[in-house]
Amino acid sequence: MRFLLDLGYATGLRTSEFVGAVLRDIRPGGRGESWLHLIGKGGKPGGVALSPLATEGLQYLVERRLPVSRQRWNATTPILASLGEDDGAGITDAHLWRVTRWFFLKAAAVIEGDHPVLAVKLRRARPHWMRHATQG
């Protein structure tokens, strides 16, 4: 969940871009940075620079027991795993929406006593909200 939130916040990707991304889409830039290349709205190719937050988030590969070095990656491995038994499968749009929504509701319940205004905002939050709440 942490990786999903970090990458979503750091990149502002649309849901379809997020669930469609595979490891081959991550490419090095000319200055040592990493870029996520994707096909955006209207079929337009584009790229998103991966911030240190997003790049650090890729350490989740270690937790999934996948190769960490780019040379050893399976290029077709989805960036977001299905959260099920099949480690090679990606998450669906609907599942991404449900799990993100669940997180916002749980977070709202936890902070409600100390931060009621923020809890109300989190209860209204949807996955698309992260696209507009990015740090970039």
pLDDT of residue 88: 63
Residues 109 and 116 sit within 8 Å (Cβ to Cβ): no
Higher model confidence: residue 37 or residue 9? 37
| Overall residue count recorded for the chain in this entry | 136
pLDDT of residue 118: 94
| Cα dihedral sign, 125-131-132-136 | positive
Please give the single-letter amino acid code of residue 135: Q
* Exposure string over 73-98, b if 16+ CB within 10 A, otherwise e: beeebbbbbeeeeeeeebbeeeebbe
Of 3-7, 13-17, 53-57, 88-92, which one has max mean pLDDT? 13-17
Q: pLDDT grade, residue 110 (50/70/90)?
A: very high
Judge whether residue 107 has pLDDT over 90: yes
The pLDDT mean for the chain works out to 81
pLDDT of residue 84: 59
Q: pLDDT grade, residue 40 (50/70/90)?
A: confident
Q: What is the pTM of this model?
A: 0.71
Between CA 103 and CA 110 the distance in angstroms is: 11
Between CA 132 and CA 122 the distance in angstroms is: 14
